[in-house]
Amino acid sequence: MSDLSLKATPSTGFYNIIVSGKSFNLSTTALYSDSPNYFTDVFSSPLEESRTKIMFVDRDPEVFKDIVKHLQGYYVTPRDENHYADLISDATYYNLMKLKAQLRANYIVNVGGKVFRVDKEILEKRDAPNFFTSIGFGYGWEPSGIPPTPLPLTIPPPILDRDPELFSDILRYLQGYEIGIKDEVHRQNLLKDSRFYHLKGLTEKLLASSMTVNGFAKEESARNEILFRLKDIRPASVLLPENNNNNNQNNNDDILSDEIATGSTSHIMYKNKEGTVYVLLVEIHNIHLICRYGAPSSPMTATTTPITNPATPTNLSRMQPLVRPILELVLSDKDVQKLKNIAKSIKASEEIVTIIRSPDTCAFEIDGSMCSLEALSNTDKLSHLMKNDDGNRYLKLYVTRSILRLITNNSKVEMEMLKCEAFSSERGFNCKREFLPDEKRIAL
Protein backbone atom coordinates (compact mmCIF):
# COMPACT_ATOMS: atom_id res chain seq x y z
CA MET A 1 0.00 0.00 0.00
CA SER A 2 1.42 3.40 -0.99
CA ASP A 3 2.11 6.25 1.42
CA LEU A 4 -0.47 8.33 -0.39
CA SER A 5 -3.25 5.90 0.45
CA LEU A 6 -2.48 6.31 4.16
CA LYS A 7 -3.26 10.02 4.00
CA ALA A 8 -6.73 11.40 4.27
CA THR A 9 -8.20 12.47 0.97
CA PRO A 10 -9.29 16.14 1.05
CA SER A 11 -12.98 16.77 1.10
CA THR A 12 -14.67 18.19 -1.93
CA GLY A 13 -14.91 21.91 -2.36
CA PHE A 14 -12.42 24.69 -3.00
CA TYR A 15 -9.02 25.39 -1.52
CA ASN A 16 -7.44 28.78 -1.13
CA ILE A 17 -3.80 29.02 -2.17
CA ILE A 18 -2.19 32.38 -1.45
CA VAL A 19 0.91 32.95 -3.56
CA SER A 20 2.99 35.92 -2.37
CA GLY A 21 -0.18 37.70 -1.21
CA LYS A 22 -2.37 36.88 -4.21
CA SER A 23 -5.27 34.47 -3.61
CA PHE A 24 -6.21 31.60 -5.91
CA ASN A 25 -9.19 29.28 -5.41
CA LEU A 26 -8.84 25.74 -6.76
CA SER A 27 -11.26 22.83 -6.64
CA THR A 28 -10.36 19.37 -5.44
CA THR A 29 -10.72 18.15 -9.03
CA ALA A 30 -8.16 20.69 -10.23
CA LEU A 31 -5.71 19.91 -7.42
CA TYR A 32 -5.83 16.19 -8.24
CA SER A 33 -5.63 16.63 -12.03
CA ASP A 34 -1.82 16.34 -11.81
CA SER A 35 -1.23 14.39 -8.62
CA PRO A 36 0.38 13.46 -6.37
CA ASN A 37 1.84 16.93 -5.97
CA TYR A 38 2.85 19.45 -3.35
CA PHE A 39 -0.75 20.64 -2.80
CA THR A 40 -2.36 17.21 -2.43
CA ASP A 41 0.40 16.16 -0.03
CA VAL A 42 -0.17 19.19 2.20
CA PHE A 43 -3.99 19.19 2.11
CA SER A 44 -4.22 15.46 2.85
CA SER A 45 -1.77 15.65 5.76
CA PRO A 46 -2.49 16.22 9.50
CA LEU A 47 -1.22 19.81 9.11
CA GLU A 48 -3.34 22.89 9.86
CA GLU A 49 -3.74 23.57 6.11
CA SER A 50 -5.79 20.39 5.80
CA ARG A 51 -8.38 21.82 8.20
CA THR A 52 -8.42 25.44 7.05
CA LYS A 53 -8.04 24.66 3.34
CA ILE A 54 -5.70 27.63 3.13
CA MET A 55 -2.07 27.47 2.04
CA PHE A 56 0.57 30.17 1.80
CA VAL A 57 3.29 29.84 -0.87
CA ASP A 58 6.26 32.13 -1.45
CA ARG A 59 6.42 31.92 -5.25
CA ASP A 60 5.71 34.15 -8.25
CA PRO A 61 1.93 34.72 -8.61
CA GLU A 62 2.27 35.52 -12.34
CA VAL A 63 3.81 32.13 -13.00
CA PHE A 64 1.19 30.53 -10.74
CA LYS A 65 -1.55 31.82 -13.05
CA ASP A 66 -0.24 29.41 -15.68
CA ILE A 67 0.03 26.66 -13.05
CA VAL A 68 -3.67 27.19 -12.29
CA LYS A 69 -4.57 27.05 -15.99
CA HIS A 70 -2.70 23.75 -16.27
CA LEU A 71 -4.49 22.28 -13.25
CA GLN A 72 -7.80 23.40 -14.73
CA GLY A 73 -7.09 21.43 -17.89
CA TYR A 74 -5.76 24.11 -20.26
CA TYR A 75 -2.65 23.66 -22.40
CA VAL A 76 0.08 26.03 -21.25
CA THR A 77 2.48 27.30 -23.92
CA PRO A 78 5.68 29.09 -22.84
CA ARG A 79 6.06 32.55 -24.37
CA ASP A 80 9.86 32.58 -24.44
CA GLU A 81 12.92 30.97 -22.88
CA ASN A 82 12.52 32.88 -19.59
CA HIS A 83 8.87 31.88 -19.22
CA TYR A 84 9.87 28.31 -20.09
CA ALA A 85 12.52 28.28 -17.34
CA ASP A 86 10.06 29.73 -14.82
CA LEU A 87 7.44 27.09 -15.64
CA ILE A 88 9.98 24.27 -15.43
CA SER A 89 11.18 25.64 -12.09
CA ASP A 90 7.70 25.85 -10.57
CA ALA A 91 6.57 22.55 -12.07
CA THR A 92 9.53 21.02 -10.24
CA TYR A 93 8.79 22.96 -7.05
CA TYR A 94 5.13 21.85 -6.99
CA ASN A 95 6.03 18.34 -8.24
CA LEU A 96 3.65 18.58 -11.21
CA MET A 97 4.95 15.71 -13.30
CA LYS A 98 2.38 16.02 -16.10
CA LEU A 99 3.24 19.68 -16.62
CA LYS A 100 6.94 18.89 -16.65
CA ALA A 101 6.43 16.18 -19.25
CA GLN A 102 4.35 18.56 -21.36
CA LEU A 103 6.99 21.28 -21.17
CA ARG A 104 9.78 18.85 -21.97
CA ALA A 105 7.97 17.63 -25.10
CA ASN A 106 8.55 21.03 -26.69
CA TYR A 107 11.78 22.77 -25.80
CA ILE A 108 12.04 26.53 -25.90
CA VAL A 109 15.54 27.80 -26.58
CA ASN A 110 17.03 31.19 -27.37
CA VAL A 111 19.74 30.92 -30.00
CA GLY A 112 21.60 34.15 -30.64
CA GLY A 113 18.62 36.28 -29.59
CA LYS A 114 15.99 34.35 -31.56
CA VAL A 115 13.52 32.07 -29.74
CA PHE A 116 12.91 28.60 -31.16
CA ARG A 117 10.23 26.09 -30.17
CA VAL A 118 11.70 22.65 -30.80
CA ASP A 119 9.80 19.37 -30.74
CA LYS A 120 11.62 16.89 -28.52
CA GLU A 121 10.85 14.05 -30.94
CA ILE A 122 12.70 15.89 -33.72
CA LEU A 123 15.81 16.14 -31.57
CA GLU A 124 15.73 12.47 -30.65
CA LYS A 125 14.73 10.70 -33.87
CA ARG A 126 17.63 11.83 -36.10
CA ASP A 127 21.35 12.04 -35.47
CA ALA A 128 21.06 11.15 -31.79
CA PRO A 129 22.65 11.13 -29.28
CA ASN A 130 23.56 14.77 -29.69
CA PHE A 131 23.99 17.99 -27.72
CA PHE A 132 20.26 18.34 -27.14
CA THR A 133 19.60 14.81 -25.91
CA SER A 134 22.82 14.37 -23.92
CA ILE A 135 24.02 17.76 -22.74
CA GLY A 136 22.05 20.86 -23.65
CA PHE A 137 18.54 20.20 -22.37
CA GLY A 138 19.50 17.91 -19.54
CA TYR A 139 22.32 19.85 -17.91
CA GLY A 140 22.06 23.22 -16.22
CA TRP A 141 18.55 24.03 -17.35
CA GLU A 142 16.69 21.58 -15.15
CA PRO A 143 17.52 19.83 -11.87
CA SER A 144 18.61 16.22 -12.22
CA GLY A 145 16.28 15.13 -9.40
CA ILE A 146 13.25 16.30 -7.46
CA PRO A 147 14.00 17.49 -3.92
CA PRO A 148 12.15 15.69 -1.12
CA THR A 149 10.68 18.98 0.09
CA PRO A 150 9.86 22.12 -1.89
CA LEU A 151 12.93 24.34 -2.06
CA PRO A 152 13.56 27.52 -4.05
CA LEU A 153 15.12 26.48 -7.36
CA THR A 154 17.01 28.66 -9.79
CA ILE A 155 16.93 27.33 -13.33
CA PRO A 156 18.65 29.49 -15.93
CA PRO A 157 16.78 29.99 -19.21
CA PRO A 158 18.07 27.93 -22.16
CA ILE A 159 20.21 30.39 -24.10
CA LEU A 160 22.86 29.46 -26.67
CA ASP A 161 25.36 31.97 -27.99
CA ARG A 162 25.27 30.57 -31.52
CA ASP A 163 24.08 31.80 -34.91
CA PRO A 164 20.25 31.63 -35.20
CA GLU A 165 20.26 31.34 -39.00
CA LEU A 166 22.58 28.33 -38.84
CA PHE A 167 20.36 26.83 -36.14
CA SER A 168 17.38 27.22 -38.48
CA ASP A 169 19.27 25.23 -41.13
CA ILE A 170 20.17 22.56 -38.59
CA LEU A 171 16.54 22.27 -37.46
CA ARG A 172 15.49 21.74 -41.08
CA TYR A 173 18.04 18.94 -41.33
CA LEU A 174 16.69 17.36 -38.13
CA GLN A 175 13.18 17.59 -39.59
CA GLY A 176 14.33 15.54 -42.59
CA TYR A 177 14.92 18.30 -45.15
CA GLU A 178 18.06 18.89 -47.20
CA ILE A 179 20.16 21.97 -46.46
CA GLY A 180 20.98 24.26 -49.38
CA ILE A 181 24.70 25.12 -49.07
CA LYS A 182 25.14 28.71 -50.24
CA ASP A 183 28.92 28.83 -50.47
CA GLU A 184 32.11 27.53 -48.84
CA VAL A 185 31.81 29.97 -45.91
CA HIS A 186 28.27 28.73 -45.23
CA ARG A 187 29.48 25.12 -45.33
CA GLN A 188 32.34 25.82 -42.94
CA ASN A 189 30.05 27.63 -40.49
CA LEU A 190 27.50 24.82 -40.62
CA LEU A 191 30.30 22.34 -40.06
CA LYS A 192 31.47 24.27 -37.00
CA ASP A 193 27.98 24.33 -35.46
CA SER A 194 27.17 20.72 -36.35
CA ARG A 195 30.25 19.76 -34.35
CA PHE A 196 29.16 22.02 -31.48
CA TYR A 197 25.76 20.29 -31.39
CA HIS A 198 27.43 16.84 -31.68
CA LEU A 199 25.54 15.97 -34.89
CA LYS A 200 27.88 13.36 -36.32
CA GLY A 201 25.69 12.48 -39.30
CA LEU A 202 25.36 16.09 -40.41
CA THR A 203 29.06 16.67 -39.85
CA GLU A 204 29.94 13.85 -42.24
CA LYS A 205 27.48 15.16 -44.84
CA LEU A 206 29.05 18.62 -44.64
CA LEU A 207 32.58 17.38 -45.05
CA ALA A 208 33.79 17.87 -48.60
CA SER A 209 34.77 14.31 -49.47
CA SER A 210 35.11 11.93 -52.37
CA MET A 211 35.07 8.14 -52.27
CA THR A 212 36.95 6.12 -54.87
CA VAL A 213 37.77 2.49 -55.57
CA ASN A 214 41.45 2.09 -56.41
CA GLY A 215 41.59 -0.82 -58.84
CA PHE A 216 45.38 -0.73 -58.75
CA ALA A 217 45.66 -1.31 -55.01
CA LYS A 218 47.89 -4.28 -54.22
CA GLU A 219 45.53 -5.53 -51.53
CA GLU A 220 41.79 -5.96 -51.90
CA SER A 221 41.32 -4.45 -48.46
CA ALA A 222 43.00 -1.20 -49.54
CA ARG A 223 40.79 -0.56 -52.57
CA ASN A 224 38.23 1.69 -50.86
CA GLU A 225 39.56 5.21 -50.39
CA ILE A 226 38.09 8.44 -49.08
CA LEU A 227 39.44 11.93 -49.70
CA PHE A 228 39.00 14.86 -47.29
CA ARG A 229 40.46 18.29 -47.00
CA LEU A 230 43.02 18.03 -44.23
CA LYS A 231 41.39 20.84 -42.24
CA ASP A 232 38.03 18.99 -42.20
CA ILE A 233 39.23 15.68 -40.78
CA ARG A 234 37.92 14.70 -37.37
CA PRO A 235 40.87 12.96 -35.62
CA ALA A 236 38.51 10.80 -33.54
CA SER A 237 37.42 9.01 -36.73
CA VAL A 238 40.99 8.14 -37.75
CA LEU A 239 42.51 4.79 -36.87
CA LEU A 240 45.20 2.29 -37.73
CA PRO A 241 44.24 -1.11 -39.18
CA GLU A 242 45.14 -3.01 -36.02
CA ASN A 243 43.35 -0.55 -33.74
CA ASN A 244 39.87 -1.68 -34.69
CA ASN A 245 40.01 -5.45 -34.45
CA ASN A 246 36.90 -5.51 -32.27
CA ASN A 247 34.71 -4.22 -35.09
CA ASN A 248 32.63 -7.15 -36.31
CA GLN A 249 29.55 -5.33 -37.45
CA ASN A 250 30.17 -5.11 -41.20
CA ASN A 251 32.09 -6.56 -44.08
CA ASN A 252 34.88 -4.04 -43.73
CA ASP A 253 36.60 -6.07 -41.06
CA ASP A 254 38.98 -7.35 -43.73
CA ILE A 255 40.47 -3.87 -43.87
CA LEU A 256 41.42 -4.20 -40.26
CA SER A 257 43.72 -7.12 -40.89
CA ASP A 258 47.47 -6.87 -41.26
CA GLU A 259 47.27 -7.38 -45.00
CA ILE A 260 47.81 -3.72 -45.83
CA ALA A 261 50.63 -3.36 -43.35
CA THR A 262 54.15 -4.07 -44.56
CA GLY A 263 56.61 -4.36 -41.74
CA SER A 264 56.11 -1.28 -39.58
CA THR A 265 54.33 0.69 -42.33
CA SER A 266 50.54 0.97 -42.42
CA HIS A 267 47.94 3.02 -44.17
CA ILE A 268 46.03 5.41 -41.92
CA MET A 269 42.31 4.67 -42.14
CA TYR A 270 39.08 6.63 -41.70
CA LYS A 271 35.92 5.18 -40.14
CA ASN A 272 32.58 6.88 -40.82
CA LYS A 273 29.48 6.94 -38.63
CA GLU A 274 28.13 3.74 -40.19
CA GLY A 275 31.36 1.91 -39.34
CA THR A 276 32.71 1.69 -42.91
CA VAL A 277 36.50 1.95 -43.04
CA TYR A 278 38.48 3.55 -45.86
CA VAL A 279 42.10 4.28 -46.71
CA LEU A 280 42.47 7.97 -45.83
CA LEU A 281 43.57 10.50 -48.47
CA VAL A 282 43.97 14.21 -47.69
CA GLU A 283 43.91 17.30 -49.86
CA ILE A 284 46.16 20.21 -48.93
CA HIS A 285 46.11 23.66 -50.51
CA ASN A 286 48.56 26.55 -50.90
CA ILE A 287 51.81 25.13 -49.61
CA HIS A 288 55.39 24.95 -50.91
CA LEU A 289 57.27 21.90 -52.14
CA ILE A 290 61.06 22.01 -51.88
CA CYS A 291 62.93 19.73 -54.30
CA ARG A 292 66.44 19.28 -52.90
CA TYR A 293 69.17 18.10 -55.30
CA GLY A 294 72.26 18.48 -53.12
CA ALA A 295 75.63 19.70 -54.40
CA PRO A 296 76.57 19.21 -58.08
CA SER A 297 79.00 16.45 -57.08
CA SER A 298 76.49 14.83 -54.75
CA PRO A 299 76.36 11.03 -54.76
CA MET A 300 72.62 11.41 -55.42
CA THR A 301 73.46 11.93 -59.10
CA ALA A 302 72.16 8.99 -61.08
CA THR A 303 73.30 7.57 -64.38
CA THR A 304 72.24 9.25 -67.57
CA THR A 305 68.75 8.05 -68.42
CA PRO A 306 66.53 8.84 -71.40
CA ILE A 307 63.21 10.48 -70.59
CA THR A 308 60.53 9.11 -72.85
CA ASN A 309 57.34 9.79 -70.93
CA PRO A 310 54.93 11.23 -73.54
CA ALA A 311 53.33 13.39 -70.85
CA THR A 312 56.63 15.11 -70.13
CA PRO A 313 56.91 18.71 -71.43
CA THR A 314 59.06 18.91 -74.57
CA ASN A 315 61.55 21.25 -72.94
CA LEU A 316 62.37 18.49 -70.42
CA SER A 317 62.30 15.49 -72.74
CA ARG A 318 65.90 15.19 -73.92
CA MET A 319 68.47 12.78 -72.59
CA GLN A 320 69.99 14.47 -69.57
CA PRO A 321 71.71 13.47 -66.32
CA LEU A 322 69.15 12.82 -63.62
CA VAL A 323 69.33 13.61 -59.93
CA ARG A 324 66.50 12.12 -57.94
CA PRO A 325 65.35 14.99 -55.69
CA ILE A 326 64.39 14.79 -52.07
CA LEU A 327 60.89 16.28 -51.77
CA GLU A 328 59.91 18.19 -48.66
CA LEU A 329 56.60 19.91 -47.93
CA VAL A 330 56.54 23.26 -46.17
CA LEU A 331 53.23 23.11 -44.30
CA SER A 332 51.31 25.82 -42.49
CA ASP A 333 51.14 25.74 -38.69
CA LYS A 334 47.46 24.73 -38.91
CA ASP A 335 48.24 21.82 -41.22
CA VAL A 336 51.05 20.62 -38.96
CA GLN A 337 48.80 20.85 -35.90
CA LYS A 338 46.06 18.87 -37.64
CA LEU A 339 48.56 16.14 -38.55
CA LYS A 340 49.77 16.11 -34.93
CA ASN A 341 46.18 15.68 -33.75
CA ILE A 342 45.76 12.76 -36.15
CA ALA A 343 49.03 11.24 -34.92
CA LYS A 344 47.89 11.63 -31.32
CA SER A 345 44.55 9.93 -32.04
CA ILE A 346 46.33 6.82 -33.37
CA LYS A 347 49.00 6.96 -30.63
CA ALA A 348 51.79 7.68 -33.08
CA SER A 349 54.68 10.07 -32.59
CA GLU A 350 53.69 13.72 -32.97
CA GLU A 351 56.91 14.29 -34.91
CA ILE A 352 55.54 14.74 -38.45
CA VAL A 353 57.84 13.67 -41.28
CA THR A 354 57.69 16.40 -43.95
CA ILE A 355 60.01 14.53 -46.36
CA ILE A 356 57.39 12.93 -48.57
CA ARG A 357 57.31 9.73 -50.54
CA SER A 358 56.74 10.37 -54.22
CA PRO A 359 56.22 7.23 -56.31
CA ASP A 360 56.73 7.16 -60.06
CA THR A 361 52.94 6.95 -60.39
CA CYS A 362 52.47 10.42 -58.83
CA ALA A 363 50.67 12.78 -61.22
CA PHE A 364 52.75 15.97 -61.23
CA GLU A 365 51.42 19.03 -63.01
CA ILE A 366 53.88 21.92 -63.14
CA ASP A 367 53.01 25.24 -64.81
CA GLY A 368 49.92 23.66 -66.35
CA SER A 369 51.71 20.71 -67.99
CA MET A 370 52.02 17.13 -66.85
CA CYS A 371 55.53 16.34 -65.63
CA SER A 372 57.00 12.99 -64.68
CA LEU A 373 59.22 12.47 -61.68
CA GLU A 374 62.02 11.75 -64.12
CA ALA A 375 61.58 15.16 -65.72
CA LEU A 376 61.62 16.74 -62.29
CA SER A 377 64.99 15.03 -61.80
CA ASN A 378 66.52 16.71 -64.87
CA THR A 379 68.86 19.20 -63.23
CA ASP A 380 70.25 20.66 -66.47
CA LYS A 381 66.89 21.69 -67.85
CA LEU A 382 65.83 23.02 -64.46
CA SER A 383 69.05 24.92 -63.80
CA HIS A 384 67.48 28.32 -64.55
CA LEU A 385 64.96 27.70 -61.76
CA MET A 386 67.47 26.37 -59.25
CA LYS A 387 68.39 28.17 -56.07
CA ASN A 388 71.52 27.62 -54.04
CA ASP A 389 71.90 27.31 -50.30
CA ASP A 390 75.53 26.86 -49.23
CA GLY A 391 76.25 24.84 -52.34
CA ASN A 392 73.11 22.74 -52.07
CA ARG A 393 70.75 23.19 -55.00
CA TYR A 394 67.00 23.19 -54.63
CA LEU A 395 63.85 24.04 -56.54
CA LYS A 396 60.95 25.73 -54.78
CA LEU A 397 57.49 25.00 -56.16
CA TYR A 398 54.23 26.65 -55.13
CA VAL A 399 51.60 23.92 -54.74
CA THR A 400 48.05 25.13 -55.19
CA ARG A 401 46.62 21.72 -54.29
CA SER A 402 47.88 18.24 -53.63
CA ILE A 403 46.46 14.82 -52.74
CA LEU A 404 48.42 12.80 -50.20
CA ARG A 405 48.02 9.36 -48.69
CA LEU A 406 48.79 9.26 -44.97
CA ILE A 407 50.81 6.34 -43.65
CA THR A 408 52.67 5.46 -40.48
CA ASN A 409 56.25 4.27 -40.62
CA ASN A 410 58.01 3.28 -37.40
CA SER A 411 55.29 5.09 -35.41
CA LYS A 412 55.71 8.34 -37.33
CA VAL A 413 53.18 9.91 -39.69
CA GLU A 414 54.47 10.18 -43.24
CA MET A 415 52.88 11.33 -46.50
CA GLU A 416 52.86 9.79 -49.94
CA MET A 417 52.11 12.22 -52.78
CA LEU A 418 49.57 10.99 -55.33
CA LYS A 419 48.76 14.16 -57.25
CA CYS A 420 50.22 17.64 -57.28
CA GLU A 421 49.41 20.87 -59.12
CA ALA A 422 52.29 23.31 -58.75
CA PHE A 423 54.01 26.32 -60.30
CA SER A 424 57.73 26.88 -60.70
CA SER A 425 57.59 30.66 -61.12
CA GLU A 426 55.32 33.63 -60.64
CA ARG A 427 55.06 33.97 -64.41
CA GLY A 428 53.74 30.42 -64.66
CA PHE A 429 51.29 31.16 -61.84
CA ASN A 430 50.13 34.36 -63.58
CA CYS A 431 49.50 32.43 -66.79
CA LYS A 432 46.89 30.38 -64.97
CA ARG A 433 45.06 33.37 -63.50
CA GLU A 434 41.49 33.85 -64.67
CA PHE A 435 39.68 37.10 -65.35
CA LEU A 436 36.37 37.89 -63.75
CA PRO A 437 33.34 37.02 -65.91
CA ASP A 438 32.00 39.74 -68.18
CA GLU A 439 29.52 42.10 -66.58
CA LYS A 440 25.91 41.26 -67.27
CA ARG A 441 23.31 43.86 -68.01
CA ILE A 442 20.42 43.89 -65.60
CA ALA A 443 17.10 45.11 -66.93
CA LEU A 444 15.36 47.34 -64.42
Tens-digit pLDDT string for the chain (444 aa): 344 443 444 556 899 999 999 999 999 999 999 999 999 999 988 888 888 999 999 999 999 999 999 999 999 988 888 888 899 889 989 999 999 888 888 878 889 999 888 888 888 888 888 888 776 554 334 544 444 444 555 667 778 899 999 999 999 999 989 888 888 899 889 999 998 998 988 988 888 788 899 988 888 778 899 999 998 888 988 998 854 444 433 443 343 333 333 447 889 999 987 888 999 999 999 999 999 987 654 443 443 444 444 444 444 444 455 678 899 999 999 999 999 999 999 999 989 999 998 878 899 999 888 888 788 888 788 888 888 887 788 899 999 999 999 999 988 999 999 999 999 888 888 988 888 776 655 454
Residue 142 lies in a domain: no
The whole-angstrom separation of Cα 10 and Cα 29 is 10
Residue 21 domain-assigned (yes or no) = no
Which residues are 419's β-sheet partners? 363, 403
Rounded to two decimals, the pTM is: 0.59
Beta strand residue intervals within 275-379, DSSP E: 277-294, 326-330, 363-366, 369-371
Task: Please report how many Cα atoms fall inside a 13 Å half-sphere around the Cα of residue 405, on the Cβ side.
Answer: 23
Structure confidence at residue 253 (pLDDT): 39
pLDDT at 152: 53
| Residue 381 belongs to some domain of the structure | yes
Is 143 within a domain? no
Identify whether 81 is part of a domain.
no
- With respect to residue 84, please indicate whether it lies within any of the assigned structural domains: no
The pLDDT of residue 317 is 43
CA distances from 430 to 211, 369, 376, 395, 424 (A): 32, 14, 21, 19, 11
User: Is 354 a domain residue?
Assistant: yes
pLDDT at position 402, please? Answer: 95
Of 185, 207, 181, 186, the closest CA to residue 195 belongs to: 207
Q: Does any domain span residue 205? A: no
Comparing CA positions, the residue from 160, 132, 43, 141 lying closest to residue 91 is: 141
Residue 422 sits in which domain range? 222-241+266-294+322-436
User: Is the preceding peptide bond at 147 cis, omega within 30 degrees of 0?
Assistant: no
Total structural domains in the chain?
A: 1
Q: What whole-number distance in Å separates Cα of residue 109 and Cα of residue 240?
A: 41
Inter-residue contact 91 to 83 (CB < 8 Å): no
Strand partners, 305: 320
The reported pLDDT for the residue numbered 96 is 95
